[in-house]
Structure 1
Amino acid sequence: MSKAVSALDGATFEGFAKVAETGLRGMITVRGDLASKEMAAAVKATTGAAVPAQRKVVTGDKGAVAWMSPDELLVVVDYDQAEAAVAQMNEALKGSHALVANVSDARAVFRLTGDGNRDVLAKLAPVDFAHEAFGADDIRRSRIAQVPAAVWGNADGSFEVICFRSVAQYVFDVLKVSAEVGGEVNHLG
């Protein structure tokens, strides 16, 4: 069996903000009735978190769960726990109309840190990244330049960008260009 590797092997770039691929992460797409007691129990058992409100991320003691659409969640766990989490959720949702799929190897994640990280994102996505509009535990599905992506805010002021693994190099490159010294906007910092 081959060894799992992240899309860009931990690539980083330091400009007026830092862009870093975060490495392997367990990610599970869950579709179904988000208001059902079965979904609430499955999410709680798997992550220790509640089903999040619209456009929110909730963190528990075993993982995090992000609202992706009215019938979709993204469950985030340690990479080596993803298959067990899928099995656990499938068992908990047995008899419910639901889909649980491990998408860990189909995604890449980047972390943006530094005072200018909001400006980096604002150059690339049609989202309001002002402090009062986008805070910790907020998530948006949108695009980064020309490709689909999701962005979520962390309590430490950093942001996570999730994209398809197939476009990871492109996303890294556009984030890098947007964060180059000399390209500061100093609008949202």
Structure 2
Amino acid sequence: MSDATSALQGARTDGFARIEAAGPVGMITLRADLGAARVAKAVKAVTGCAMPGRRRIVTAGDKAVGWMSSDEVLILLPHAEAPGAVAVLSAALARDHALVAEVSDARALFRIGGAKADQVLMKLCPVDFARMERDELRRTRAAQVAVAIWRSGDDEISLICFRSVAGYVAGILEHSARTGSELLPG
């Protein structure tokens, strides 16, 4: 088996905000009846997280579960744990109408950090960042590509995109975060 590698090898740039491409991260898409007790129990077993509410992400240590739609969550966990988690979820939900798919190698995770992190994305996403709460997850677009974003810290926003567009996303984030391009106070 080959070693896991991320799309951008942990690249980092600094402008008025810090842009970091996370290393390999385990990601699992689970499509099922999110209100079913068996689904919630299986998710909790592999993550330690409760099922998130609509447009929320729940975190427990280095694991998280994000609401993606009325029948879909995205599970984030250490890359090495993803295959085992897929096996546990698949076994637990074998009698249910459910889809469990590891998407670790199909996605890229970025972290945008700093006191003005939201300004980087204000230029790229049609989202009212002034109203976006911590742990609120939004599916939107950054310029021309689909992304999911959430406030992962007081001065940090996490962004997931398809790996195939990771270079493009890194470029637009870097350009948007260039020193001197901060937004003027309204």
TM over 0.5: yes
> In 1, distance between residues paired with 2:121 and 2:139?
13
**How far 1:77 sits from its partner (Å)?**
0.8
Residue identity matched to 1:16: F
Number of the residue aligned with 1:148? 146
Please tell me whether residue 129 in structure 1 is matched to residue 129 in structure 2: yes
Query: What's the TM-score, normalizing by structure 1?
Result: 0.95
CA separation of 1:85/1:62 partners in 2, compared to 1, >3 Å: closer, same or farther?
Answer: farther
Query: What's the TM-score, normalizing by structure 2?
Result: 0.96
* CA contact 1:46–1:62 (8 Å) conserved in 2: no
Number of the residue aligned with 1:175? 173
> In 2, distance between residues paired with 1:65 and 1:114?
24
Please tell me whether residue 91 in structure 1 is matched to residue 114 in structure 2: no
Number of the residue aligned with 1:56? 56
CA separation of 1:115/1:69 partners in 2, compared to 1, >3 Å: closer, same or farther?
Answer: same
CA separation of 1:186/1:158 partners in 2, compared to 1, >3 Å: closer, same or farther?
Answer: farther
**How far 1:156 sits from its partner (Å)?**
3.4
* CA contact 2:116–2:155 (8 Å) conserved in 1: no
Residue identity matched to 2:167: Q
Please tell me whether residue 80 in structure 1 is matched to residue 112 in structure 2: no
**How far 1:91 sits from its partner (Å)?**
1.1
- 3-state SS of paired residue (2:153): coil
State the identity as a percent.
49
> In 1, distance between residues paired with 2:31 and 2:48?
18
- 3-state SS of paired residue (1:171): helix
**How far 1:152 sits from its partner (Å)?**
1.0
Q: Which has the higher strand share?
A: 2
Aligned length: 186
